[in-house]
Every structure is written in C-alpha cells, then in structure tokens.
C-alpha cells in the first residue's frame, strides 16, 4: 500500500463551497450555536413559540429564517420564567 505524502493530499472541503445550498432547517444544537445561547434556552424559545419548528420523525428542526428573525430583534425579558 502506497503512503500519500502531505503535499499530495487534497485539502478538506470548505463550508464556503459554492455548490452547497443554504440550509433551511437546523437542529436544536446548531440553532443554539447560531444564537450563542444554550440548547436549553433554545428549548424555552421553542416552547414559547418564538422559534418556528418542524418535526421530521423524532427530530425537532428549527427554521433558519426564524432564527435570523429572532436575532434581528431585541429581547430584554428573561428566557426562563
């Protein structure tokens, strides 16, 4: 078996690849990362219907559009109440 040198290896595919379509739905963990909050805080937002969700099987997916809409507004109230 031939060993491949570092110079011959292909670089990893970048996220900024233009062939990748933008995602419409993300999981709760990814939504939390996008908003810089905890997964539990995302659960509170989902429960209060501040984020639009879709269910596919057992997965709860959050709409990227609703994440962007939520991020554009100010929210001075506490998440857990």
Q: How far apart are CA 62 and CA 26, in angstroms?
A: 5
Backbone phi, psi, residue 56, to 5° = -125, 105
What pLDDT is recorded for position 51?
A: 95
pLDDT tens, 25-72?
A: 999 999 999 999 999 999 999 999 999 999 999 999 999 999 999 999
| Domain membership of residue 55 as a residue range | 25-72
What pLDDT is recorded for position 31?
A: 95
Identify whether 12 is part of a domain: no
CA-wise closest residue to 34 among 77, 5, 63, 56: 63
What pLDDT is recorded for position 71?
A: 93
Identify whether 15 is part of a domain: no
What pLDDT is recorded for position 3?
A: 74
Mean pLDDT score across all residues of the chain: 85
Number of domains in the chain: 1
Identify whether 77 is part of a domain: no
Identify whether 14 is part of a domain: no
């Amino acid at each position: 078996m031939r060993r491949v040198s570092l110079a011959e290896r292909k670089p990893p595919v970048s996220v900024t690849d233009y062939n990748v379509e933008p995602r419409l739905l993300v999981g709760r963990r990814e939504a939390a990362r996008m908003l810089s909050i905890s997964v539990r805080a995302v659960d509170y937002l989902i429960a209060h219907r501040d984020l639009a969700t879709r269910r596919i099987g057992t997965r709860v997916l959050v709409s990227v559009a609703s994440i962007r809409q939520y991020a554009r507004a100010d929210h001075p109230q506490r998440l857990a109440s």
